[in-house]
Amino acid sequence: MNTYGIEIEFTCRVSIYDVAQALQNAGVACEAEGYNHSTRSHWKVVTDASVRGGYEVVSPILNDNNFESEIKKVCEGLASINAGINQSCGLHVHHGARDLTVETAKNLVKMYKANESHIDSFMPRSRRDNNNQYVRTLEAVSVASIESADDLRDVSYAMGTRYRKINLESFWRHGTVEFRHHSGTVEASKIINWVKLTRAMLNVANEREMGRAANLNEFLNNVLGSAVDSSRAVNPRAGSMLAEAKVLFDRGHSNESVLDALKELFPEAKSLNLRRMNQFKKKLFPVAAAVNNSELVEFFMNRAANFAA
């Protein structure tokens, strides 16, 4: 069973003890603690020097059976104290990876690096490129020359620092792979979708060699079903367009036929051409469907032409 560790950074105007009490009131086993890296059997609220005007709430080890319900309760508790975010806040997700291999780690780095700019596009500017000292780009990271199946440390050494959009150093301390890219959020739907998205990345990295032409369509297939529903909730027209495109693509229709169908169904598709259709299918469609983010939906609707095919 998949396991997860969630770290939610947030701002608030109440004490750390009031935060813990609010989460307890929401049905979460939670304690206020000093800053530490220990894994607990309960959620903990801790101080974090990188967060301005707030704290970090850290989960126990969660799994496929309980992570969604736990995240929803935590976010309900945070909402009760009017928790918010600022640019200093991030969302960090750890995935259990005790069986991580050299090839899986290399595949993950190559896959993420190949698609980093697209994932950047639905993050705020403070989490893009190299704009944040705690969330460094993978652009200069190279794992191509690492051959040894016995030395996984070489892959994490190639990263240079744990403050990357992916952190592999956490494997040596916790047996996890940490995704640090996402901006701070106290919205349960965004957190849950990001957990699913990053799990899908790790699953596919473990299943096959990705190669340099890795694309998001392959590793997102198993999360598109629920993700389309999430996007529909944010933007009904965009969500419907995504759902229709997903059905047509799954049935093996060509870009031309999908484009014609979308133009008939949706005014928003009138500006699409085949070049944009190809981008939409390979890049924008799966990412927008997988992430409950209205900014990204608007991005692919209005600026699809800016993507490289």
Express each pLDDT in 147-196 by its tens digit: 765 678 888 888 999 999 999 999 988 899 999 999 999 999 889 888 88
3-state secondary structure 164-229: ECEECCHHHHHCEEEECCCECCCCHHHHHHHHHHHHHHHHHHHHCCCCCCCCHHHHHHHHHHHHHH
The answer to whether the beta carbons of residues 228 and 297 sit under 8 Å apart is no
| Adjacent-strand bridge partners of 7 | 58, 92
Question: Can you give the pLDDT at residue 116?
Answer: 83
Residues above pLDDT 70, as percent of the chain: 74
Q: Who wins on pLDDT, 49 or 19?
A: 19
Question: Can you give the pLDDT at residue 281?
Answer: 63
pLDDT tens digits, one per residue of 29-87: 999 999 888 899 999 999 999 999 999 999 999 999 999 999 999 999 999 999 999 99
- Other CB atoms within a 10 A radius of the CB of residue 24 amount to 15
Q: Residue 197 pLDDT > 60, yes or no?
A: yes
DSSP state of 184: P
Backbone angles phi, psi at 43, to 5 degrees: -70, 150
Specify the 3-state DSSP secondary structure of 129. coil
276 confidence band (pLDDT: 50, 70, 90):
low
pTM surpassing 0.75? no
Give the HSE-up count for residue 4: Cα atoms under 13 Å, Cβ half-sphere. Answer: 27
The whole-angstrom separation of Cα 46 and Cα 33 is 5
Q: What does the mean pLDDT of the chain come to? A: 79
The whole-angstrom separation of Cα 192 and Cα 64 is 11
- Other CB atoms within a 10 A radius of the CB of residue 131 amount to 15
Report all structural domains of the chain as residue ranges with CATH numbers, in order of start: 3-89 (3.30.310), 95-214 (no CATH), 219-306 (no CATH)
pLDDT tens digits, one per residue of 226-273: 344 444 444 556 666 766 776 777 777 777 887 788 777 777 677 777
